[in-house]
Amino acid sequence: MITDLFLAGFKAIIEYTSAHVLTCLVPAFFIAGAMSALLPKGKIIQYLGQKVPKYKAYPLSIVAGLLLAVCSCTVLPLFAGIKKKGAGIGPALAFLYTAPATNIMAILFTGSVLGWNLAFARIILSVAFASLIGIIISTIFKNEDMEEEKNAVPDVACACAEVKDTEKPSFFQRRRLLLFFITLLAILIVGTRISGYLRYIIISGLAIILVILTKLFFTKDETMAWLSETWIFTKKIFPLLLGGIFVAGVLTALLPQDFLATFMGKNTLSANLIAVLFGVFMYFPTLVEVPMAKMFLGLGMAKGPLLAYLLADPVISLASILVVRKYIGTKRTLVYVGLIIIFTTISGLIYGAIVK
């Protein structure tokens, strides 16, 4: 029995690393490192800082999340990057919540597989929850947030500063960061959305472009700072992810086969809570929660718990909780997880009462 559980845990790790590390997580680490090392601190604080009006910071965070089809683990390096650079805890958490929960691909997939009523409920509630959770936590921990903003990573000296005043920077020099991040994001999108040999061909081409951009428009110090920050994020996050995925694999193996029909077949408070807790502690890559939900529905899960599961599962997992705690502390992590559990459980209960 113990051997089977260990095998289930290792199988989960193997499946995750083979499917996500090279084409999903590695690009995310490089993007996070670039955010931390190259993005001007003033720009991050200008748009996402603690003192920025909520009507500006939160829509920007949510829109950024909507455009990224990444899972709760792949988004972690990106969250860590903007948080380390000085983003307020509220907008940073709104981005962390939105990217896996309400990205465009996930909503379209949900609508086509499970119905548009469920898809619309998912996107409306997820956006609302992302904003509310961010506002509540930033209000409760306002002093800590201001202190972290002061201690954000200082800017690396800009290579453009080396251009003499008499020399006008070229178009590409002025847009170097934009081109750089577009290339990095393209690698991440291709790695998550395209399959087969074509994926590796396109990624190879984009990687060559990235090297050329780095050589032409960035100093050696900037490049080394980028690689150093990437390594720091990798060694902090990756071991925690593997540990959390291993535990999730073990827990999955322990669940009885008739678990869903027995405990989540009716729209009760306990059924919704169990569905949420199942989603919170299990790990499935983004979009995988949709066919999983389809299977759960066929196995007897009620529609209320089904929505509650869809709202919780993509957002956090045991692995992501361990990593988030490292960057925002135990207290804020507990409040974050607690609010997700409360909001998603209640919303599932209400949805199940309305939609029979």
Give 159-210 pLDDT, tens digit per residue.
444 433 444 555 666 688 889 989 988 887 888 777 788 888 999 999 999 9
302 in any annotated domain: yes
**Which tens digit of pLDDT belongs to each residue from 332-347?**
999 999 999 999 999 9
The amino acid sitting at 65 is: G
Say yes or no to pLDDT of 272 above 90.
yes
Higher pLDDT, 232 or 153: 232
pTM of the model: 0.67
Number of domains into which the chain is organized: 1
Q: Domain range holding 17?
A: 2-157+219-354
What was the pLDDT predicted at 172? 61
Distance of CA 144 to the CA centre of its chain: 22
Residue 198 within any structural domain of the chain? no
pLDDT for residue 279 is more than 90: no
Instruction: Grade residue 304 by pLDDT with cuts at 50, 70 and 90.
Output: very high
Considering the domain boundaries, does residue 172 fall inside one?
no
Report residue 342 as tokens: 């409360």
Taking the C-alpha atoms of residue 28 and residue 143, their distance in angstroms, rounded to an integer, is: 30
Is residue 103 domain-resident?
yes
pLDDT of residue 308: 92
Looking at residue 290, its pLDDT comes to 73
**What pLDDT score does 211 carry?**
94
**Domain assignment of residue 187, yes or no:** no
- Predicted confidence band of residue 213 (pLDDT cuts 50, 70, 90): very high
Task: Classify residue 63: in a domain, yes or no.
Answer: yes
- Is 178 a member of any domain? no
3-state secondary structure the chain: CHHHHHHHHHHHHHHHHHHHHHHHHHHHHHHHHHHHHHCCHHHHHHHHCCCCCHHHHHHHHHHHHHCCCCCCCCHHHHHHHHHHCCCCHHHHHHHHHHHHHHCHHHHHHHHHHHCHHHHHHHHHHHHHHHHHHHHHHHHHCHHHHHHHHHCCCCCCCCHHHHCCCCCCCCHHHHCHHHHHHHHHHHHHHHHHHCCCHHHHHHHHHHHHHHHHHHHHHCCHHHHHHHHHHHHHHHHHHHHHHHHHHHHHHHHHHHCCCCHHHHHHCCCCHHHHHHHHHHHHHCCCCCCCHHHHHHHHHHCCCCHHHHHHHHHHCCCCCHHHHHHHHHHHCHHHHHHHHHHHHHHHHHHHHHHHHHCC
pLDDT at 335: 94
Judge whether 71 lies within some domain: yes
pLDDT of residue 110: 77
